[in-house]
Amino acid sequence: METEEIVGTVEKVLNSQERRFVESVDLCINLKNIDLKQPKNRINVDVVLPKKIKEPKVGVFASGEIALKAKEAGAEVIDPEELKRMDKKKARAMVQKYDYFVADASLMALVGKSLGTILGPRGKMPEPIPPGAEPAQILLRLKKIARIRSKTTTLWVNIGHKDMDAKDIAENAAAVIKAVESRLERGWQNIDSIYMKTTMGPAVKVV
């Protein structure tokens, strides 16, 4: 679907009752005729949205110069030495605290050994920072990402918030729909319906 086809739906969604907080705008994509027990049918993708929707909290496993650069870029640095002393309760709390993780490539094995069983099922394994790469560039991209994981045949994706421009939200919706469609074995034939809604508003059918 193109952005222009979605703008009208977004305007209807944004016309819902005003609340005391800024509601999120979510896209709901219902799949059909697809067996998610088969790994090849599962969707596991990070979509870079055209318009930024929030300021995610990013945790960076690093030390030395990479840690310094990550701090300068606005991320929170996690000392690798902490991983060696962390029990499961603290590890779960830390994983819950952040939206995304990034790690110095040389620390990926340590992170996997210490937190793999917690990060993996939550889809939060860190993105490695290659030697010589600038952490700021990786962090900037993460701020525009919508993470899509097909645990069930209903996909929920945050594509904006109510005080955004309707066209910006429509652009994000179009990018998500395109990404999902391209990863389905039969494309549109595997999509049953698509809805959009604010946090507390009614669902409006997109298609």
pLDDT of 167 higher than 80: yes
Contact 21, 113 (CB under 8 A): no
- Does 76 or 55 have the greater pLDDT score? 76
Phi and psi at residue 27, to the nearest 5°: -105, 135
The predicted-structure confidence for 18-58, as pLDDT tens digits, reads as follows 999 999 999 999 999 999 999 899 998 989 999 988 778 89
80 band by pLDDT with thresholds 50, 70 and 90? very high
Give the C-alpha separation, 184 to 146, whole Å.
18
Tell whether the model's pLDDT for residue 14 goes beyond 80: yes
User: What one-character-per-residue DSSP string does 154-201 give?
Assistant: EEEEEEEETTS-HHHHHHHHHHHHHHHHHTSTTGGGGEEEEEEEESSS
The enclosing H or E element of 94 equals: helix 88-97
Between 192 and 132, where is the model more confident?
192
Confidence at residue 147, expressed as pLDDT on a 0 to 100 scale: 86
Average pLDDT in the chain: 93
Under the banding of pLDDT at 50, 70 and 90, the label for residue 168 is very high
Tell me the domains of the chain and their CATH numbers: 3-53+144-205 (3.30.190.20), 58-142 (3.40.50.790)
**Comparison of pLDDT for 123 and 112, the residue scoring more:** 112
Give me the residue label for tokens 């305007």. 11
